[in-house]
């Protein structure tokens, strides 16, 4: 379905189309956003456009954990106060932010940027599993916490990773259940994340 109506000038149609392509934005909202931008001063419109191009040009993945950063390493990896022996593996950057918001985690992270999904043709090689294995192989890691969503793809990805990590002799745990069924780490409240981290479940070594 065309986001605009065809009534609008072409440049305005293009702007509406761009807004309508964003997640959660319907046609009406996209039109409202585009009209708001038209009301901007030229300076403000330029700042808006620059924010998009700058974010795209400057933001990259942390060389250590794959978190987003505008430097070589992210603020978590650069911090002296974080325990580098404890790695929390998340599927998505938004999960990392959710755990950081809960403020009870003192380790570092590893962001996979996806989960294994045969349905969506996402294989293990398509996400950042290999750099995680390399990190653990490099030594100094005592525990890897798999903080993946409790759905089929999250469980399958967790199982795949734990099979790769157990021969390396590192302790592997996962978040305690308590996340709502089918619920996401991203949307869990702080207390739930706190509990899920505190009461994490041992995967390896086997007891
Ligand atoms: Zn990092």
Is the predicted pLDDT of residue 4 greater than 80, yes or no?
Answer: no
Q: How many Å lie between the centroid of ligand 1 and the Cα of residue 109?
A: 7
**What's residue 182's pLDDT?**
55
Tens digit of each residue's pLDDT (9 = 90 or more) over 37-83:
999 999 999 999 999 999 999 999 999 999 999 999 999 999 999 99
Q: Are residues 78 and 157 in the same domain?
A: yes
What is residue 94's three-state secondary structure? helix
67-71, 188-192, 199-203: which has the highest mean pLDDT? 67-71
Q: How many Å lie between the centroid of ligand 1 and the Cα of residue 57?
A: 18
Question: How many distinct structural domains can be found in the chain?
Answer: 2
Q: Are residues 153 and 76 in the same domain?
A: yes
Q: Are residues 142 and 200 in the same domain?
A: yes
| Cα-based torsion angle of the residue sequence 46, 48, 54, 59 in order, rounded to the nearest 10 degrees | 180
Rounded to two decimals, the pTM is 0.80
**What CATH number is given to the structural domain containing 133?**
3.40.1360.10
Is there a domain that residue 4 lies in? no
Whether 107 and 85 have beta carbons less than 8 Å apart is answered as yes
Is there a domain that residue 172 lies in? yes
Element (H, E) at 110: strand 107-111
pLDDT-based confidence at residue 2 (cuts at 50, 70, 90):
low
Owning domain of residue 73? 62-204
Is there a domain that residue 87 lies in? yes
Q: How many Å lie between the centroid of ligand 1 and the Cα of residue 65?
A: 4
Is there a domain that residue 164 lies in? yes
Q: Are residues 74 and 133 in the same domain?
A: yes
Residue ranges with CB less than 5 Å from ion ligand 1 = 62, 64-65, 67, 74, 77
Q: How many Å lie between the centroid of ligand 1 and the Cα of residue 58?
A: 15
Is there a domain that residue 3 lies in? no
Q: Are residues 187 and 150 in the same domain?
A: yes
Tens digit of each residue's pLDDT (9 = 90 or more) over 124-142:
999 999 999 999 999 999 9
Is there a domain that residue 155 lies in? yes
What is the dihedral sign for C-alpha 176, 181, 185, 190? negative
**What's residue 183's pLDDT?**
66
Residues with Cβ within 8 Å of 107's Cβ and at least 6 positions away in sequence, in order, are 82, 83, 84, 85, 86, 87, 88, 143, 145
Beta strand 83-90 with 107-111: parallel, antiparallel or unpaired? parallel
Whether 180 and 151 have beta carbons less than 8 Å apart is answered as no
Whether 150 and 188 have beta carbons less than 8 Å apart is answered as no
Q: Are residues 198 and 135 in the same domain?
A: yes
Q: How many Å lie between the centroid of ligand 1 and the Cα of residue 13?
A: 39
pLDDT-based confidence at residue 3 (cuts at 50, 70, 90):
low
Q: Are residues 199 and 121 in the same domain?
A: yes
Tens digit of each residue's pLDDT (9 = 90 or more) over 146-166:
999 888 999 999 999 999 999
């Amino acid at each position: 379905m065309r986001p605009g109506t065809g009534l609008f000038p072409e440049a305005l149609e293009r702007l509406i189309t761009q807004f309508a392509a964003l997640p959660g934005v319907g046609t009406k909202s996209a039109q409202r956003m585009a009209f708001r931008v038209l009301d901007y001063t030229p300076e403000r419109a330029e700042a808006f456009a620059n924010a998009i191009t700058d974010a795209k040009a400057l933001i990259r993945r942390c060389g250590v954990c794959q978190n987003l950063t505008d430097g070589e390493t992210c603020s978590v990896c650069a911090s002296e106060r974080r325990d580098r022996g404890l790695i929390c593996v998340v599927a998505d950057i938004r999960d990392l932010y959710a755990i950081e918001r809960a403020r009870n985690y003192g380790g570092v992270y590893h962001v996979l940027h996806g989960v294994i999904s045969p349905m969506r043709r996402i294989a293990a090689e398509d996400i950042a599993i290999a750099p995680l294995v390399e990190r653990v192989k490099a030594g100094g890691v005592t525990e890897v916490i798999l903080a993946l969503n409790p759905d089929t793809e999250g469980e399958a990805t967790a199982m795949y990773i734990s099979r790769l990590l157990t021969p390396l002799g590192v302790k592997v745990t996962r978040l305690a259940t308590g996340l709502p069924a089918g619920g996401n780490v991203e949307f869990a409240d702080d207390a739930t994340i706190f509990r899920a981290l505190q009461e994490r479940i041992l995967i390896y070594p086997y007891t």
